[in-house]
Amino acid sequence: MKVNDIMDINKIRKDFYVLNNNDLAYLDNAASTLKPKQVIDAVTYYYEKLGVNIHRGVYRLSYEATDLYEKARQKVAELLNCQFEEAVFTRGASNALNLIALSYGMNHIEEGDEIITSELEHHSSMLPWQNVARAKKAKLVYVPLNEENKITVENFKKVLSNKTKVVALNYISNAMGYMTPVEEIIKLAHEKNAIVILDAAQAVPHIPVNVKALDCDFLAFSGHKMCGPTGIGVLYGKYNLLKEMEPIEFGGDMIDYVGLNEVTYKDPPYKFETGTPIIASAIGLGRAIDYIKAIGFKDIMKHERMLRDELIDKMSQIKGITIHNPNTDTGIISFNINGVHPHDAASVFDEENVAIRAGHHCAQPLMHCLNEIATIRASVYFYNTREDINRLVKAINKAKAFFENFM
């Protein structure tokens, strides 16, 4: 049976043990994606065949492990279209976004400066700058969201000023799936000499991201949201910015020279990768990038949008559902079953083996804008099928029917 019109999903799904071993409609991909066996094999290869430290070992196994780790960085650089030296491995997007705020932010922001962010941010994009603003007596300025809760260029212009020093925004919202008009925002911010940080945790796994074309100053993403292992992420930074930034962690592997009262650091990216790096996960991320590229972003986007349209179409026919983002740009759909707490609904979905996310999605300020304490979020990836969508719709109907008895 042809499962869809775009990709050979049946073949792709065979790569995912979790899908093979569970009768599961997995629709929580914005939280984390599943990992294909190719990625697991790459991680296992490191542990089974190498298992040693990198950079410092003068023996064959260490050379090979170093080579695999640095090749993974090269894959990141090619994926983002940046220089090799501009790709810093971190523990994840949160870790990368904190690094920028603690290093660049704490050393460049002064009293009275303004930092632009939005209520549409994941807490990891917003809180590091709340912290900087508090410490430096700077002002956090929020782009007013429009009536659909989107960031628009028009509204961005309203808050951009000569005092703006930093713009920290999501590229794609994890709670609403909207794409921020980052190209124009970056141009406008640069006219004011402000730097732009993109939280691309929901973008890099789903769309082609070209940092040189965008001209963003920093960008962050996580490996585990794009078929890679947990515990690995990337901070992209323009080389001249990374070069002048101070490390935020100090210790092994990041130094050139250490005296009793002085130290010189390695050049980027190494001065930010203190201690034994996340070797196995970086290697796994490199393999995940190969895997995703082989499928191709064009087909990934087409497939996700096809599933999104189908889900929104089917959900729109059910009475008593509020879809918060019917014009979502991606495969992230946020909704509520009126009168039913999202966690209660999620429990019913779980009985049907449908995995979604219920909660505030680490975007509590947005929940105020939506007038909800929490939402249900379904998020698709390339291995999802129309069958998954049908199962969610069935689960929604079941939850509605069940809770209607109590209303």
Ligand X SMILES: Cc1ncc(COP(=O)(O)O)c(C=O)c1O
SS3 334: strand
In whole angstroms, the minimum distance from the beta carbon of 351 to ligand X comes to: 25
In whole angstroms, the minimum distance from the beta carbon of 20 to ligand X comes to: 25
SS3 327: coil
DSSP-assigned beta bridge partners for residue 257? 264
Alpha helices in 52-152 (DSSP H): 60-80, 93-100, 106-108, 123-136
Contacts to ligand X by CB under 6 A: 30, 92-94, 122, 124-125, 170, 174, 199, 201-202, 222, 362
- Token output for 149: 């809760």
- As a whole number of angstroms, the distance between CA 346 and CA 384 comes to 19
DSSP-assigned beta bridge partners for residue 359? 375
Q: Which is nearer to ligand X, 92 or 286 (CB)?
A: 92
In the annotation, is 362 catalytic?
yes
Q: Extract the runs of DSSP E, i.e. beta strands, from 163-225.
A: 164-170, 195-199, 218-222
In whole angstroms, the minimum distance from the beta carbon of 203 to ligand X comes to: 8
Q: Which is nearer to ligand X, 103 or 174 (CB)?
A: 174
DSSP secondary structure letter of residue 373: S
If we measure between CA atoms, which residue out of 380, 402, 382 comes closest to residue 391? Answer: 380
Q: Extract the runs of DSSP E, i.e. beta strands, from 7-129.
A: 25-26, 87-90, 114-118
Q: Which is nearer to ligand X, 90 or 384 (CB)?
A: 90
- Token output for 56: 């410092």
DSSP-assigned beta bridge partners for residue 25? 354
In whole angstroms, the minimum distance from the beta carbon of 127 to ligand X comes to: 11
- As a whole number of angstroms, the distance between CA 405 and CA 407 comes to 6
Q: Is the dihedral of CA 67, 68, 69, 73 positive or negative?
A: positive
Q: Which is nearer to ligand X, 119 or 199 (CB)?
A: 199
In whole angstroms, the minimum distance from the beta carbon of 123 to ligand X comes to: 8
In whole angstroms, the minimum distance from the beta carbon of 29 to ligand X comes to: 10
- As a whole number of angstroms, the distance between CA 120 and CA 188 comes to 20
Q: Which of 216, 227, 362, 369 is catalytic?
A: 362
Q: Which is nearer to ligand X, 45 or 297 (CB)?
A: 297
Catalytic (active-site) positions: 362
